[in-house]
Structure 1
């Protein structure tokens, strides 16, 4: 094990090295991880004989040699891999690559078809989206996310124990969504519809990090996967909207209305299958989205910072306070989630060894503004609960704001330390990845505990 002194700086150096290695198109993710394991082992050995962490890292990298030469060596040792042709001969049409690609497409087809078929199973029992919202709302994530988790677990060669854990957690989600006697207008129906997808998405994360469950690095990879998956899903949805518009126009031109097919088959089945397809696209086309992430982050961070600062100025000018009715609570919670998402996305796209700059100060302003708004909303919620009593919605909003408050407060402190050059950037990354289980625990509490706690209100 490496010594604790300089550990943050050492991890930042590993992160920069890892980012550089992953730009190599001939190296798969598993290969990059294998290289990093070799590098870490060499660093540990050098530290054990008395070298400082920085010196050990430089010596270990030097010993590994040039990346091109190392790629060739790995290609010779692992002749079955796709990139042997890329490194040694320059050829791209490998039979092994074709086999792997066909296997991925076959697994994708099965999982996407399974998701599309799952969402139509309730229709066999006479249920429809328009009439049975109290059923589809809590269960919507159970139709597609298990298939996405299955696809990722298959790609990661998950162990039988982990597969059993995944099945148990999805089964628990199904019980939570259907076992409680909730009325159609129950607040718990809405809360379950919101929080169960969050809880089950973390279960998908377990499948994603199946190859290294304890690794902070793999958790950050899952955060990247989440953002990239969202980008691809939106793109698929936009493409689906264009397809639907053309379908309506062309078929209606010959006197046929496709409305029933679109509403009952194309939209629900397509939306469910797209969950798996988007995950496959992220896995297969990572280098494309890596160029999108920094652009999105640098575009929206200044815009959201300006909006939050303007809101705080307007709030101080009007002195009217914040309306914490249900719609406003949802809006503020979404706002804080977006801020957190921008922070996470920017962390995943940043060079950890780059010095702090203007963009980091903008991020600090964004986090501090969100933190101030969170405190103000918490004060209002607490006052309302004290005056009028609590409800499931208010209790859930209070808990979520407390969780976000803790995250944003420590994040602001770490970003401030980084801007002042007193805290390494790697500390902020580790904090965010270590905090992920907190969201999962709270989501399961809302789904499993809140309905009976509030008498199924």
Structure 2
């Protein structure tokens, strides 16, 4: 079908949807126009991601189900073609799209193989996976450099990124390699820990630049990357679970015939499979863009109440027992991980939310979660500040202090915006713009910890 024919068919579907909506509810023409404008924007975004216009229309209508029940009914009655999107790289009957799908598959396999091969290159220079302490430190600092450049390369190829973007990506990954390998960090150095935690964050946000490519100023594309991050994590978890079963079967079956697969699993299957899975999970998110049963709303609606209850219980326990927060290294990491997970849960939920939907009960629950996290963040900050005042600072305490300040600013403004949204003083788009603009703050902070902290603290 030619492009003009595709456009005519798409316009016919818009007309059919409009007629359906108008015939089932008394709506003002302006209301229908607003719905149609939102629908067209969603379709355009899906087409840019590589979907056929016909399928993009069905996906967009299905996603509008949360906004408008009639759209959900319309999608249910016209969704027989939508199941094609459940096939990873199947035959769509369109030669051009089938060829593109096959190219994506082969490029992904090439990038995954490149990631696996790069994880073995250090062995040529005497670095052994699972070797001595120095080798363990080396792999802890460099593991993200074996995988993320290949994922970024796949995304940049899929987005047809410009040479400028590719050059910036190469420079930032090179900077990460320098930071991981040039500084004289001892095996027991605190800087090893904080660099090992922050470098993957910095490089993941670099990968985000490959995802948005030349559209890096777009808040919508940045929010898409947040959704990509959440769904990538889900796929990585599923792959990891399957990998654990595979390793168990390998050990069981090889031991049954008198062979020990420990060396193969420890030196080949684990490192190669781990970095290759990073690329494969990214590819799965990309090819599943057309699946309308998005996992994000299910997960967020399940875990948001649970995390809210857990944080409230923690706050109650602190008040009742009068126990302060311990600020040793493990406790700092635990509390920071908790706050990061909560923020990630919120971002994942907001990325999947229809921006035109009115505020509801779930939005109020999210506000309770934000306020609870904000209160815990304040308590952690007070504890860290007290310890620094009394005993002086260390790399761990300084990093924890800065990270909690960064999170505090985001949570505080998010709470204010959510409150104003619930009162219908601002649109939901204001929350999206705040979160996407704050990605730059995370990037700057992560690079600051990786590049500046080690020399400032004399590589302790």
TM-score, normalised to structure 2, is 0.81
Please, what is the CA RMSD of the aligned residues?
Answer: 2.4
**Alpha-carbon separation, structure 2, partners of 1:348 and 1:355:** 15
State the alpha-carbon separation in 1 of the partners of residues 216 and 319 from structure 2.
46
Q: Distance in 2 between matches of 1:377 and 1:273?
A: 37
Offset at residue 321 of structure 1 (A): 1.1
Matches within 5 A, 1:54-133: 92-130=92-130, 131=132, 132-133=135-136
Shift of 1:215: 0.6
Contact 1:15/1:352 (<8 A) preserved: no
Where does 1:23-422 land on structure 2 (aligned, <5 Å)? 27=47, 29=49, 92-130=92-130, 131=132, 132-288=135-291, 290-422=293-425
Match of 1:86 in 2: none
Cα deviation code 1:384-406 (max 9, x no counterpart): 11110000000000000000000
Return the offset for 1:288: 3.8
Deviation at 1:15, TM superposition (A): 9.1
Find the counterpart in structure 2 of residue 424 from structure 1: 427
1:212–1:218 Cα contact (<8 Å) kept: yes
In the other structure, the counterpart of 1:433 is 436
**2:43 matched residue in structure 1:** 21
C-alpha distance in 2 between matches for 1:197 and 1:162: 20
Q: Are the equivalent residues in 1 in contact too, given 2:190–2:395 (CA < 8 A)?
A: yes
Give the match's secondary structure for 1:447: helix
Retained in 2: the 8 A contact 1:329–1:397?
Answer: yes
Residue in 1 that maps onto 2:67: none
Indicate conservation of the 8 Å contact 1:16/1:351, yes or no: no
Structure 1: distance between partners of 2:235 and 2:292: 9
| Alignment: residue pair count | 392
- 1:242 shift after superposition: 1.1
From the superposition, tell whether residues 415 and 355 of structure 1 become closer, same or farther in structure 2 (CA, over 3 Å).
same
| Structure 1 match to 2:17 | none
Contact 2:230–2:348 (Cα < 8 Å) also in 1: yes
After superposing the two structures, state which structure 1 stretch, 250-259 or 14-23, moved more.
14-23
In structure 1, runs of 5+ residues without a counterpart are: 1-8, 37-65, 68-82, 84-90
Kept after mapping to 1: 8 A contact 2:51/2:290: no
Residue 418 (structure 2) pairs with residue 447 (structure 1): no
CA deviation after TM superposition for structure 1 residue 29, in Å? 2.4
SS at match of 1:93: coil
Q: Report Cα offsets for 1:244-300 as digits up to 9, x if no partner.
A: 111112222211221111111001000000000000000001244852110000000
Is the 1:166–1:207 contact (alpha carbons within 8 Å) kept by the matching residues of 2? yes
Contact 2:165 2:214 in 1 (8 A): no
Please give the alpha-carbon distance, in whole angstroms, between the structure 1 residues aligned to 2:187 and 2:40.
Answer: 50
Contact 2:311–2:373 (Cα < 8 Å) also in 1? yes
- Cα distance between partner residues in 2 of 1:32 and 1:313: 52
Counterpart CA distance in 1 for 2:282 and 2:42 is 24
Distance 1:416 1:15, change over 3 A: farther
Note the residue ranges of structure 2 that are not aligned, 5 or more in a row: 1-30, 57-73, 76-83, 85-90
The range that moved more, 390-399 or 123-132, is 123-132
User: Which stretch shows the higher mean deviation, 12-21 or 110-119?
Assistant: 12-21
User: Counterparts of 1:13 and 1:382 in 2: how far apart (Å)?
Assistant: 50
Q: How does the TM-score come out when normalised to structure 1?
A: 0.82
Contact 1:21 1:32 in 2 (8 A): no
Distance in 1, Cα, partners of 2:115 & 2:107:
12
Q: Are the structure 2 counterparts of residues 283 and 31 from structure 1 closer, same or farther at C-alpha, using a change threshold of 3 Å?
A: closer
Q: Distance in 2 between matches of 1:282 and 1:455?
A: 42
Q: Secondary structure at the match of 1:286?
A: coil
Look up the match of 2:27. none
User: C-alpha distance in 1, partners of 2:401/2:48?
Assistant: 43
Q: Is the 8 A contact 2:364 2:422 kept in 1?
A: yes
| Offset at residue 19 of structure 1 (A) | 7.4
SS at match of 1:385: helix
Distance 2:226 2:242 in 1: 25
- Cα separation, 2, equivalents of 1:240 and 1:216: 35
> What displacement does 1:231 show?
0.5
